Amino acid sequence: MLPDFRVRRFLVRLVWVVSALCLLPLLPAQAAEGQATQSGKKAILLVSFGTSVASAQKVFDKIDAATKARFLGWEVRWAFTSKKIRQKLATQGKVTLSPQLALAALADDGFDRVAIQSLHIIPGEEFEGLQEVASRLEGMPKGLKQVEVGMPLLESREDRQRAAQAMLAHAPAERRPDEALVYMGHGTPHSANWIYSAMVDLFQKQDPKVFVALVDGKPELASVQRELLAQNIKKAWLLPLMSVAGEHAHNDMAGRSEDSWTTKLGKAGIACQPVFLGMAEYPEIIDIWLDHLQVAVNKVDKEAAKDAAKAAAKKDDKDEADKGWGVELVLPMYSKYVSRGALTVNDPVLQPGATLSGYGFTFNVWGNYNLTDAINRKGRFNEVDLTGEYAYKLGDFSFPVGVSHYLYPSMSQPSTTEVYAGVSYEALITPTLKVYQDVGDVHGQLAALTLAYNQELYRNRPRATVSLNLTAGVDWGSNDYNKYRYNWGVDGDRLIDANFTVGLPCKLIDSVTITPSYTHVILLDSAIKDAAGYDSKGFWGFSVSWAF
């Protein structure tokens, strides 16, 4: 019989809470149902500043072909970072995507891991913007699980040395020894602009008549022009230090305007011969980008392999569970015994238990064994709990119902029984709500809400693992529960405690696990704090379990 109006009010609230827990995860699960069958797909996204020059686009086709030849079986797509170029191409009827939209399209097509390769020259503003986009879109629910970004062309000293050698190896064969090579770089206000000066040093160690000037920034054309005149150089070959010979090469470098490099140097008496070959025309340059992409691909493959191993282990565990009944024996030791916020024993205890489970049923016997004479029960059990439960599985949902009988050997406290029901949803962070009804003398109710997170940290063979378990919970008690269950004598429905546990389960072999842990309990209600005589308690634990 329900004791009073407070219980009915509590049960109505409970129905709303359970309904919310059930319905909220359900809709996204249904929406993603079509994508679930495509999980595990990997793709490469090549990202360039972009070009609207048709002849330069052919260079991107070379990069595309080289990428597909090296990374067989990978989906390869493109994105341009320049909004201006994307808009210009759109007027020509050519649709190109920004990195954001390209990644979103990959996620929508069922890809969950992407290796991005930046085709930028230096790690400047465009590259940092790309990294930020990748960071924002990685790890979104039902989206991209992993996004790795390969570094730009001239990221390391080794990259710059390889690039300088490749560029000089492909210098025009018609060039005479007294003629200069002047490379046009884009330039940037970003701090990475120093890389262009570093390239000048590398070029001139091999050929003193090689220069670099920038469209935006230093070294600028005027300073290079002074060097050419000082060395009495009468002819300069102009080449782009850019991935493709795009608009900058055709307009700023070789255009007919007064501001073009050809015009300015020509007025100074220096004949100019433009060469419309971008850096990506040379296989050695493409190889540098693809080596950077290889690093990103390796990271993707490594994480994919880890997930595959986890899935296989989870399947193995499920297969083991489906075989029938299983037994687990556990022997934990704790520095204190705290139950639902109540300090029961303030000294070290053993809490051995045995569980028989199978086909959704669980039967457990558990006891608290005193190691000291703190409550005049050294070497004796002061509590033994007997629990039977059945959990109905529905997809990722679980609906447990059960009964627990509490025995207090050689204690004045009478034994009692609780029945309970709950709901949980298996996810990255698993919520569980259980409601207990005492059917003994107390007739009170307790509601316990927990959030659990588990992450594998290390695996060196299929069964040996180290994991991280984090659990946070809160307990609520009805008027009768708070008044009688632990002799607190506190009237009213109240939040009792918040509890936090961190554990480090270490599975040594197939059936043996050791788990160090720490739990901290904080009482939430001032009246309960006064009755208990403390605000919070923390305790350490160490357990050994054997499952068979």
Cα–Cα distance measured from residue 236 to residue 183, given in angstroms and rounded to the nearest whole number: 10
Tell me the CA distances in angstroms from 149 to 60, 128, 129, 242, one per residue in order. 19, 10, 11, 20
Same fold, 40-152+284-307 and 171-276: yes
Residue 389: closest CA among 377, 378, 403, 406 = 403
In the chain, domain spans: 40-152+284-307, 171-276, 324-547
Give me the residues of the chain with pLDDT under 50, please. 1-8, 10-12, 14-39
Tell me the CA distances in angstroms from 456 to 313, 464, 507, one per residue in order. 11, 11, 11
Strand residues in 241-380 grouped as ranges (E): 271-274, 326-334, 337-339, 342-345, 349-350, 353-358, 361-370
DSSP 109-162: TTEEEEEEEE--SSSSHHHHHHHHHHHHHBT-TTSBSEEEEE--TT-SHHHHHH
Q: What fold does the segment set 171-276 form as a domain? A: Rossmann fold (3.40.50)
Cα–Cα distance measured from residue 228 to residue 236, given in angstroms and rounded to the nearest whole number: 8
β partners of residue 330: 353, 545
pLDDT at 481: 87
pTM of the predicted protein model: 0.56
pLDDT at 72: 92
User: Where are the alpha helices (H) located in 434-486, listed in sequence order?
Assistant: 479-484
pLDDT at 463: 65
Q: What fold does the segment set 324-547 form as a domain? A: Outer membrane phospholipase (ompla); Chain C (2.40.230)
Residue 56: closest CA among 99, 117, 119, 103 = 119
Q: CB-based contacts of 474: which residues, under 8 Å, 6+ apart? A: 448, 449, 495, 497, 498, 499, 524
What is the CB neighbour count within 10 angstroms for residue 506? 16
What is the CB neighbour count within 10 angstroms for residue 478? 25
Domain spanning 40-152+284-307, CATH architecture: 3-Layer(aba) Sandwich (3.40)
Q: Which one of 120, 186, 248, 292 is the catalytic residue?
A: 186
First CA to last CA distance, the chain: 42
Q: Catalytic residue at 405? A: no
| 146 neighbors 112 (Cβ within 8 angstroms) | yes
Q: What is the dihedral of CA 434, 531, 410, 537, to 10 degrees?
A: 70
Q: Are strands 235-240 and 271-274 parallel, antiparallel or unpaired?
A: parallel
> What's the pLDDT tens digit per position in 103-153?
999 999 999 999 999 999 999 988 999 999 998 888 877 788 899 999 999
pLDDT at 78: 94
> What's the pLDDT tens digit per position in 425-439?
999 999 999 999 999
Q: Please give the distance of CA 127 from its chain centroid, rounded to a whole number.
A: 21
Cα–Cα distance measured from residue 517 to residue 106, given in angstroms and rounded to the nearest whole number: 41
pLDDT at 21: 42
pLDDT at 94: 87
